[in-house]
Amino acid sequence: MGVMDLFSLKGRLSVVTGAARGLGRAMSEAMADCGADIAVLDINLEMAQKTAGEISEKYGVKSEAFYVDVAKYESCRQACEEVLEKWDHVDVLLNNAGICINQDAQDVPLSDWHRVIDINMNGVWYMSQLIGRQMIRQKSGSIINLSSMSGFVVNTPQGQVSYNASKAGVIHMTRSLAAEWVGYNIRVNSIAPGYMDTDLVHKTLEADGPWARRWMELTPMKRAGRPEELGPLAVYLASDASSYMTGSIIVIDGGYMVW
């Protein structure tokens, strides 16, 4: 088998949360381009349906949309059940759904704290356990968690304590699950991006105010990443190309963490 064959995802199913737009969509497209079917899970069902339709048309794979609010265990359980009614295996779980609320720590309302932790960290846990059980039955799988450089460094100048804490949690959850499930042939890794130009930060980048200027000053490449620049890494982690990699957190940030 040649090296390029190791990147093939033909016949595999990738379940991607928050896949309707942004990084989740870009990574789904990259995996579909390498042959994977895509279950597009999102809280925005209408957008998810549009995305799934476009993915199947463009890449000739099977892609379907499913509603999920990853902050709610019952919703995750329901979505996983629906996916497993259509496919009898799950090869890749990409835990991507996430939000960020910028506030100074002393002003964070309790409800906002819980919302960020529920989506960014608890959601990763709910989905990993539910799909992990299926992967344990199959004795194979690759789980990829979207963390962030914010799980290592504190972004500046904006306040985002809940986001930073949630992403640090995702990083250590990744390592813990990697250790626990290595015996079931399940690999668990994480992608930790720097600033990426998605709807999450686009308005701030475009306004080019003090926040965006500071962000770019601190980024050696002097630009935000494009969503499609995460695609090849997602394919690598999803596929047999990364067969010896587990418990790794891969930073992809235009050099931000170098300085």
Ligand X SMILES: NC(=O)c1ccc[n+]([C@@H]2O[C@H](COP(=O)([O-])OP(=O)(O)OC[C@H]3O[C@@H](n4cnc5c(N)ncnc54)[C@H](O)[C@@H]3O)[C@@H](O)[C@H]2O)c1
Residue ranges that bind ligand X, judged by CB under 6 A = 17-18, 20-24, 42-44, 68-71, 96-99, 119, 146, 148, 193, 195-196, 198-201
Q: Is 148 a catalytic residue?
A: yes
Which entry of 128, 150, 166, 167 is annotated as an active-site residue?
167
Catalytic status, residue 163: yes
Whole-angstrom CA distances from 95 to 76, 140, 208, 254 are 12, 17, 30, 22
Nearer to ligand X, 85 or 199 (CB): 199
Nearer to ligand X, 9 or 121 (CB): 121
24 or 132: CB nearest ligand X = 24
Answer yes or no: are the C-beta atoms of 159 and 105 closer than 8 Å: yes
Q: How far is residue 56's CA from residue 63's CA, in Å, rounded to a whole number? A: 5
Shortest distance, position 200 Cβ to ligand X, whole Å:
4
Among residues 63, 147, 150, 163, which one is catalytic? 163
Closest CA to 152 of 135, 139, 171: 171
Q: At closest approach, how far in Å is the CB of 52 from ligand X? A: 12
Q: Which residues contact 121 (CB under 8 A, 6 or more apart)?
A: 166, 169, 170, 173
In the complex, least distance from residue 5 CB atom to ligand X, rounded to whole angstroms? 29
Give least dist CB 213 to ligand X, A: 16
Which lies closer to ligand X via its Cβ, residue 13 or residue 40? Answer: 40
CA 182 to CA 177: how far, in whole Å?
8
- Residue closer to ligand X by CB (options 136, 252) is 252
**92-95, strands of its sheet edge to edge:** 63-67, 37-42, 13-17, 92-95, 141-146, 186-193, 249-252
For residue 34, the minimal CB distance to ligand X (Å) is 20
Contacts of 207 (CB under 8 A, 6+ apart): none
Hey, what are 88's tokens? 């009898």
Please state, in angstroms and rounded to a whole number, the distance separating the CA atoms of residues 202 and 212: 10
Candidates 14, 28, 142, 148; catalytic one? 148
Which residues have a catalytic role annotated?
Answer: 148, 163, 167
